[in-house]
Structure 1
Amino acid sequence: MSYASRSRRFVFVHGAWHGGWCWATVRQLADDRGHRTWAPTLSGMAIDEPCAHVDLDAHIEDVHNLIIREDIRDVTLVGHSYGGLVITGVADRVPDRIERIVYLDAFVGANGRSFADLAPIHDIEALVVEDRIAPMIPIEKLGSFDREMAVILASRLVGQPWRTFAQSLHFSARALNRLPRAYIRTSDLIPEQAEHAMALGIEMIDARPAGHDAMLTEPAKIAMLLEQIEGLPVHRAEE
């Protein structure tokens, strides 16, 4: 297994219904190789945590604040699924802090559109119970888990603060287009997002069939792919 030699900085952003815990094995593999990693659990995503006012902007602010507070520079943002929208928003706010963006089977985002628009989810408010939307994807659709792991995963997933799905994302395409971006496709759960990434000229890595939750089903593969991507030269487009 070939790894990039330089120590890197990664901020991992989880997807809907998950928490920072889902990156534990990938983080350990990266840390063991001398990299520095962070994986925050976004606001409202802990069990029983209030979330009435949590929206997409709040999640973007969570990661933005982490980067500023920890003075993280030249960082690679890795976003899984819904987390792709979050890292797109973060990169738009602090592009000078970002070395690369990696979408892991993720929503890349479209200016002025929400997660509900892209998924799509119709009549989103009909799904809301106590400010949350319950997990909508069966465990078996997330990856190949044995029975024990499936039970553990189901017990850890939490309802998503509904405003995070309803709020539209707004960003400057000019700022984002200057940053190196890669898309790791690990399943066929959201094929239109992979196609959108290709249309934007984002580097595509096909890692199917690792499963949508590849950071859980194939953590070693994801860690390896991240290091391979990080070994590529960084070319920023001119203003």
Structure 2
Amino acid sequence: MSGKASTYVLIPGAWHGGWSWRPVAERLRAAGHRAFCLTLPGTGDGDDPSGIGLQDAVDHVVSEVERLGLSDVTLVAHSWGGYPAAGAAYRLSAKVTKVVHYAAQVPVRGRSLVDDNPPEAAAMLRGLIDASPTRSISPSLQFVQGIFMQDVEEETQRLVSELLTPLPGNYFLDALDVPGVAELGIPSLYILGEDDHALPQPGTEFAARLGKEPVMVPGTHEGLLTHPDEVAQAILNG
């Protein structure tokens, strides 16, 4: 590692909590850096997801960075976490020195995650939210097995499925009205799993929004759990 320690703030993807980043965070710490794993509003164990929106997630990232007195921060986002990361990077531009996207969506200003999905998938997501009494989307074992992590035994898939929590629907319906990371001129990195089939568009297209080519690592969308050594090394090398 280089002589200077870095500070990483790790933002989870949809349905995930700070626990999902812990294996990677432990490796970053072992390399001499600081790493903070966030759990966003409405996604903690027993949280009520109703009435929570994307701005609440952005506010939480900003408030944690400020509460902890952090500076020279690298934001690291997984999957949907690219949305709150982009919003926080704008608000914290004086404190953020880099944004790392791991299999993450790169938002387009004024376009929500649902808007960024193909029409059939967007309609399905809206239908799930409308049908939920808390306007949330609940994860399922079938989703984990078919989309998130196809490369592990069923026991592990079941464990991850039980750790996931319902996601506030407005996290998918709300859009950001701020300049993106590339427009802000903040250095960025895009990391992508070789067998990731969970993103609504190819990861190369999201990386292109940053003007980047993805750095490839082994694993599916859950490589932060199954291949933490490689993901951590890609973050450190970036």
**Quick check: TM above 0.5?**
yes
Q: 1:181 and 2:179 equivalent?
A: no
> What is the CA-CA distance between 1:176 and the residue it aligns to?
4.0
Report the 3-state secondary structure (helix = DSSP H, G, I; strand = E; otherwise coil) of the residue aligned with 2:115: helix
Q: 1:219 aligns with which of 225, 228, 231?
A: 228
Match of 1:138 in 2: 143
Secondary structure of the residue that 1:71 maps to in structure 2? Answer: coil
- Counterpart for residue 214 of structure 2: 204
Q: CA deviation at 1:123?
A: 5.7
The CA distance in 2 between the partners of 1:123 and 1:211, in whole Å, is 23
Q: List aligned pairs for 1:7-22, cutoff 5 A.
A: 7-22=5-20
Cα-to-partner distance string for 1:149-187 (whole Å, 9 max, x where unaligned): 212101111111011111111212487441101110112
Scaled by the length of structure 1, the TM-score of the pair is: 0.88
Preserved contact between residue 92 and residue 175 of structure 1 (Cα < 8 Å): no
Question: How far is the alpha carbon of 1:115 from its aligned partner?
Answer: 1.0
Task: Identify the match of residue 73 of structure 1 among 65, 71, 74.
Answer: 71
| Shift in Å, 1:60 | 0.6
The answer to whether the aligner puts 1:153 opposite 2:160 as a matched pair is yes
Q: Give the % identical residues.
A: 27
| Cα offsets for 1:26-54 (capped at 9, x unmatched) | 11111112111111110000232122221
1:19-38 equivalences under 5 Å are: 19-38=17-36
Q: Tell me, yes or no, if the aligned pair for 1:214 and 1:222 is still in contact at 8 Å.
A: yes
- 1:161 & 1:127 partners in 2: Cα distance? 11
d(CA) in 1 for partners of 2:112, 2:16: 19
Alpha carbons of 1:174 and 1:200: their partners in 2 closer, same or farther (altered >3 Å)? Answer: closer
Shift of 1:130: 2.6
Q: TM-score, normalised by structure 2?
A: 0.88
Q: Where do residues 26-105 of structure 1 align in structure 2 (5 Å cutoff)? A: 26-105=24-103
Cα offset for 1:188?
3.7
Report the alpha carbon displacement of residue 125 of structure 1 after superposing the two structures with TM.
4.0
For 1:78 and 1:216, locate their aligned partners in 2 and report how far apart those are by CA, in whole Å: 15
Give per-residue Cα distances to partners, 1:176-232, cap 9 Å, x unaligned: 44110111011243243431322441352122x411111111000011111101xxx
